[in-house]
């Protein structure tokens, strides 16, 4: 039997409601992870789910990742993504990362064997921290849902032992409705997996 652990130290804001469909107007101001855990448990009362409502420090993140079979990262900043990536590489844990902005989204799966697999730092570097984010540029509300659904599919495939294409950046264009796949090359000097 598995456990689902939701980590989010943020609270629900009215601006989240259009794209984070577990939440409603009555949830504004409440902890995201707690509300999500409660709503998922109501859908499936047999689920073993735990909410983490504080920011995980380096040791706490490392411990949580080491206990996981797969990590899904939908964070909205590079700093967090790099920290999660580094913890996954160190623990040899599969990482599925997704992001959305404006009318675009992306999904990538890395690991768990980082001697051969690429990692998030092979794709992005510290200098990319200045790239645009959803808060400043907005996002078409259904796009994060589409990306989240793909992340869930990838996670279930990984847990079921179904082979998938790791280290391939899948880019979604909501205007055309098309996906484009781009292979991520392993960086020899990658600070995490190189």
- Mind listing the pLDDT tens digit of every residue in the chain (194 residues)? 679 999 999 999 999 998 999 999 999 999 999 999 999 999 999 999 999 999 999 999 999 999 999 999 999 889 999 999 999 999 999 999 999 999 999 999 999 999 999 999 999 987 665 555 555 678 899 999 999 999 999 999 999 999 888 889 999 999 999 999 999 999 989 999 98
- What DSSP string describes 120-156? HHHH--GGGGGS--HHHH-B-THHHHHHHHHHHHHHH
Instruction: Identify the active-site residue in 88, 134, 190, 193.
Output: 134
25 burial via Cβ count (<10 Å: 0-12, 13-18, 19+): exposed
134 among known catalytic residues: yes
Q: Specify the pTM.
A: 0.92
């Amino acid at each position: 039997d598995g456990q689902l652990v939701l980590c989010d130290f943020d609270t629900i804001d009215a601006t989240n409601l259009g794209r984070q469909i577990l939440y409603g107007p009555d949830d504004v101001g409440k902890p995201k992870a707690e509300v999500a855990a409660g709503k998922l448990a109501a859908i499936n009362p047999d689920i073993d789910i735990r909410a983490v409502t504080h920011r995980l420090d380096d040791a706490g993140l490392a411990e949580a990742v080491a206990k996981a079979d797969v990590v899904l990262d939908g964070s909205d900043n590079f700093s967090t993504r790099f920290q999660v990536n580094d913890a996954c590489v160190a623990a040899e844990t599969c990482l599925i990362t997704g992001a959305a902005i404006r009318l675009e989204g992306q999904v990538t799966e890395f690991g768990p064997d980082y001697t051969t697999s690429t990692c998030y730092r092979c794709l992005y570097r510290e200098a990319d921290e200045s790239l645009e984010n959803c808060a400043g540029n907005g996002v078409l509300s259904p796009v994060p849902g589409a990306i989240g659904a793909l992340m869930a599919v990838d996670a279930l495939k990984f847990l079921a032992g179904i082979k998938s294409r790791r280290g391939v950046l899948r880019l979604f264009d909501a205007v055309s409705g098309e996906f484009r796949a781009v292979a991520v090359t392993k960086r020899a000097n990658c600070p995490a997996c190189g």
